[in-house]
């Protein structure tokens, strides 16, 4: 079932994005404990210029971001949907809006990384056309990571 949301384009300084990212970080810390400290170092908000926040009834319920990865690629970062709004198609709406934004900026693909035990995230990305690729950058050799890409 697809839920009706309002998508807002902004950047990483937006208070609602920071609020949602705090919830995301708490969720990841609860799931992965000390392992999350390794991944946390690659999620600095200062490098993120393109953010989408999903609102329902004027409340922030989901977010996602993209940042330049290389000359042709954007990296999907900080995807999060509040637990009360999951399984409603909101993550796919945010992801598609991020992909549209990347296209508008003339990027040709999106890449991302997720932990190998995030089966719900893996299903989301596969459903939206992402394919598993060799681990890139800091995730090379990290058996706990899955890297993916989608050509836009």
CATH number at 96 reads: 3.40.630.30
pLDDT value for 68? 95
Across the beta sheet with 73-81, the strand order is: 6-10, 50-56, 59-68, 73-81, 109-115, 145-151, 131-133
Residue 124 falls within a domain, yes or no?
A: yes
DSSP code, position 88: S
pTM, 2 dp:
0.90
Domain with 77 in it: 6-151
Instruction: Give the chain's domain count.
Output: 1
Q: What is the mean pLDDT of each run of 10 residues along the chain (152 residues)?
A: 84 95 86 59 72 96 97 96 94 98 98 89 96 93 92 98
- Check if the beta carbon of residue 62 is closer than 8 Å to that of residue 53: yes
In degrees rounded to 5, what are phi and psi of residue 19? -60, -50
DSSP β-bridge partners for residue 55: 6, 60
In this prediction, residue 30 carries a pLDDT of 79
Inside any domain, residue 136: yes
């Amino acid at each position: 079932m697809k839920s009706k949301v309002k998508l807002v384009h902004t950047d990483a300084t937006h208070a609602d994005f920071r609020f949602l990212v705090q919830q995301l970080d708490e969720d990841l810390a609860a799931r992965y404990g000390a392992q999350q400290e390794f991944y946390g170092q690659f999620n600095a908000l200062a490098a993120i210029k393109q953010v989408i926040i999903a609102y329902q009834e004027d409340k922030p319920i989901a977010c996602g971001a993209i940042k330049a990865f290389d000359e042709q690629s954007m990296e999907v970062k900080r995807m999060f949907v509040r637990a009360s709004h999951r399984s409603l198609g909101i993550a796919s709406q945010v992801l598609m809006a991020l992909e549209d934004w990347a296209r508008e900026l003339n990027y040709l693909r999106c890449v991302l990384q997720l932990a190998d035990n995030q089966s719900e995230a893996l299903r989301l990305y596969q459903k939206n056309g992402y394919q598993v690729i060799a681990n890139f950058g800091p995730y090379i050799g990290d058996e706990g990571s899955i890297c993916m890409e989608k050509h836009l």
